[in-house]
Structure 1
């Protein structure tokens, strides 16, 4: 599958092993045979619900600075997305969370250093089990509880998708409080 025409070309036009020119991924290096791909990067994100609302933080940095966001982020190395979701909630909110039901997985994109990278966004319902919310100012400038039935446009379309999915599935999922 190739990126849409409006997506800037990805880097990696040189072999990471030997440095020879390769072209756009997927590519096989003619010099050493190394193959490169443009695979989605996994993320782990929590959706913390309270009554008919969800916790959102206002992004303090690009991309999409100023938009409402859900606590989460990229997996480290071989970290499982569920572990990343718990870690990211601790780092961004200063709280400990317990994951509940898996809320969904969506293909998305993330603009980074002039490139649009594919991501695999994984979402879990979560409950705060310890601590008070203290935002990391490098991640969020404020937090609030927004209505699940009428959320604003979120920082990333996959977040809009998971919130819509939760409204549809409301009666069949355990809504964390």
Structure 2
């Protein structure tokens, strides 16, 4: 883990130790900080035989294709995070009961030079009548609908998404 502190937040000592990839420990005052894995959600929105991919408008991976989603807020369920992120990014309100859990994959996310380890939770949301007319232009540079088998995995922003979509593509081919 790259150091995210130069000095102990408790005693200001520079006597910090880094261990196990997520623990910061101060030898001077016994302060401990665990930089634990953050929860994130990604929603595969399916309409008829296509899925929605967004185009990132921010780093990391600006310009790459992405699935709608984001970090889970404190005291929030994964399903609530999915609904909140879809409303924020795509200006749509969904029926959370239609979300179907697919799988999870570990991932990393570098933001402002800090490496965050994440556990990305993937959900399917199918709505053949869904209409998306707007999106948050600060977060997204647009969106595209694609058939699952036509997605170029190299255009995706994150490895966890590549793994999940690759699994779904292989599952569809083997039917």
For the superposition of Structure 1 and Structure 2, which TM-score range results when normalised by the shorter chain? 0.7 to 0.9
Aligned equivalents of 1:156 and 1:83: distance in 2?
22
Deviation at 1:130, TM superposition (A): 7.1
Aligned-CA RMSD value: 2.2
Aligned equivalents of 2:140 and 2:66: distance in 1?
9
For residues 95-154 of structure 1, what are the alpha-carbon distances to aligned partners after superposition, in whole Å with 9 as ceiling and x for unaligned? 012342211111101111113221111111114587633110011111111121131221
Which protein is richer in helix relative to its size? 2
TM-score normalised by L of structure 2: 0.82
- Consecutive unaligned residues of structure 2, counting only runs of 5 or more, are none
- Consecutive unaligned residues of structure 1, counting only runs of 5 or more, are 4-8, 172-177
Aligned equivalents of 1:64 and 1:15: distance in 2?
32
**4+ runs of 1 displaced by more than 6 Å?**
none
TM-score normalised by L of structure 1: 0.81
SS at match of 1:49: strand
Task: Check conservation: 1:13, 1:23, Cα contact below 8 A.
Answer: no
SS at match of 1:72: strand
Structure 2 partner of 1:15: 8
